[in-house]
Amino acid sequence: MPHLTTPEAPAALSASLQTGAQLHALLERLFPICRSITGDGVRQTLAVVQEYLPDLQVHEVPSGTPVLDWTVPAEWNIRDAWVKNAAGERVIDFQQHSLHVLGYSTPVRGWFSRQELEQHLFSLPEQPTLIPYRTSYYQPGWGFCLSHEARLALSDEYYEVCIDSTLDEHGSLTYGELVLPATVAREEAAGEVLLSCHCCHPSLANDNLSGLVVAVALAGYLARQPRRYAYRFVFGPGTIGSITWLARNPEAVARIRHGLVLTLLGGPGDFTYKQSRRGTAATDQAVALALRDRAAAHHIRPWLPYGYDERQYCSPGFNLPVGCLSRTPFGEFAEYHTSADNPSFVRPGQLQQALELVQQICRVFEHNRTYRNLRPYGEPQLGRRGLYKGVGGGSEGQQWQMALLWVLSLSDGEHSLPAVAEQSGLPFELLHRAAQSLAATDLLEPV
């Protein structure tokens, strides 16, 4: 299948993504598109996303635009590429797999000796059957990626080479943005949550389509919920996309209270959360609580100034509370940045679990309140307010009773509800329900 066209939507695919199977079907549909940090592949991808999120705004930023310490690059597009042997057979073929071309390759056409061609070939001797993913975004050059087995089979003295690509200095960088406004009154709104994912890798399923499809499904879910926060989704190319967004949106940056970069969520392995640069931000606390309450096998890692776009959002000048949620991190699984990162590597069940986790994280964001006990002198009488069991001495309802007591004990105007969850060890959503019940009486009020 050519990599420059968008496959038609399957008739059975619903516009609402709720199950792992539906997420995986969208991933399979997007997989063949040849994406890069600019170009028509990004536009085709965002056009599919708009089928699910019609309010997604697509932005075009002209090449040459200064963005922070960077400049928006020339727009790259590719129509075809191949290496032919003396018999005219395509021994490397972009139409067979988009990873075969070095990303951002400059156009080339001509005959090259085997020795000359070797200087432009990339393979993995330690993984001889796989095609690597390689790019040359900011340094002009050209090349082909192929399996090491195929490389060793190149025995002709000369090869004909064609890369039919363009680098347009008058092009643009494309990114998508969706804002779901808060549904409460303006004075009750709590700021914004930033959800960011990449849309720049060609024919790689876990990196980064898994994060993209989870983000699309999460946006659809949040659109149907009451929201104390506004939620801003950014679908952009890695590094230059987040830098461009940050440069263009200083007012939105000032409103961000929580943030997550979503990536690598569909492969095997435990959940891994990389903390924000702050390390103790409310975002970091919320993710840790959601992982704990779901009893999901997971690892929490400290901040590291390398990785995905969290390093742009958390750079010292912005210092946003943005962490990175993934499964096995980049570079730590054998399929990373190779042709083995295909749709069969991504499991529908893993996507479903990831969606449910980020939904729960967002519920923690929404319900993260600080309360004040209005009867702080002695333990208030819960029974006459209908909050305590009628007969003493038994253990029935004990967790609910403990939730009520923990909320009352720590609601001093300083402890947030996540802090109560951390100290008590009780599920956050149970404590939220307890706080709601207490606030419905004369015992508790939100600060």
Residue ranges at the known binding site for Zn(2+)? 201, 207, 337
Q: How far is CA 18 from each of CA 13, 154, 209, 218, 325, rounded to the nearest angstrom? A: 11, 47, 16, 9, 19
Q: In this structure, is the dihedral angle defined by the CA atoms of residues 15, 21, 27 and 30, taken in order, positive or negative?
A: negative
Q: What's the rounded Cα separation, in Å, for the pair 386 and 388?
A: 6
Q: Which residues are annotated as a binding site?
A: 201, 207, 337
Say if CB 163 and CB 142 are below 8 A apart.
Answer: yes
DSSP letter at 103 equals B
- The total number of residues written for the chain in this structure: 447
Q: How far is CA 409 from each of CA 390, 399, 436, 441, rounded to the nearest angstrom? A: 21, 15, 15, 16
- What is the CB-side half-sphere exposure of residue 422 using CA atoms within 13 A? 15
Longest dimension (CA), the chain: 93
Q: Identify each DSSP E strand in 138-285 by its residue range.
A: 144-145, 158-168, 172-180, 192-198, 230-236, 256-262, 271-274
Q: What's the rounded Cα separation, in Å, for the pair 89 and 106?
A: 23
Q: What's at 175, amino acid-wise?
A: Y
